[in-house]
């Protein structure tokens, strides 16, 4: 897991350092969004930096926190309609339909 700063009220942003584009970035999201984000990482067998990188590559906004929060909502909305993630068995990781839907919700490929 990444470094987390948990000071403040429950709805205050919680800062976490993740690597995006090879650079460390401090991102502030509320604790519930970080918990949901961590669940996505666990379900999809990805690190937080890997998932953040995929999300920001798809979204032209410079505000990474907004991009990540939007993707978290889109993921769980898609997961509810798609069911459990499926794996192909290939050594190359395959994104679940829920992750693909979440990435599409934040923006097209550059």
| Residue stretches of the chain with pLDDT short of 50 | 1, 3-6, 90-92
What is the pTM for the complete model shown? 0.69
Alpha-carbon gap, residue 64 to 27, rounded angstroms: 7
At residue 1, the pLDDT reads 47
Residue span of the structural domain in which 101 resides: 4-106
Q: What pLDDT is stored for residue 106 in this prediction?
A: 73
Please give the pLDDT value at position 34.
94
Cβ burial 38-54 (10 Å sphere, 16+ → b, else e): bebbeebebebbebbbb
Q: Provide the pLDDT for residue 32.
A: 92
- What whole-number distance in Å separates Cα of residue 40 and Cα of residue 70? 13
Predicted confidence at residue 21, as pLDDT, reads 86
How far CA 10 is from CA of 6, 14, 31, 84, 105, in Å, comes to 9, 9, 7, 30, 27
CATH assignment at residue 75: 1.10.3990.20
Quick check: 5 and 14 in contact, CB under 8 A?
A: yes
Q: How many domains does the chain have?
A: 1
């Amino acid at each position: 897991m990444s470094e987390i700063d948990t000071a403040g009220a429950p709805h205050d942003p919680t800062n976490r350092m993740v690597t995006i584009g090879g650079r460390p970035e401090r991102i502030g999201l509320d604790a519930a969004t970080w918990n949901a984000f961590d669940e996505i990482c666990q379900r999809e067998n990805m690190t937080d930096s890997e998932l953040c990188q995929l999300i920001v590559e798809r979204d032209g906004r410079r505000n990474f926190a907004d991009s990540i929060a939007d993707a978290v909502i889109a993921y769980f909305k898609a997961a509810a309609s798609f069911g459990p993630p499926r794996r192909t068995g290939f050594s190359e990781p395959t994104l679940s339909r829920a992750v693909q839907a979440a990435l599409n919700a934040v923006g097209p490929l550059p």
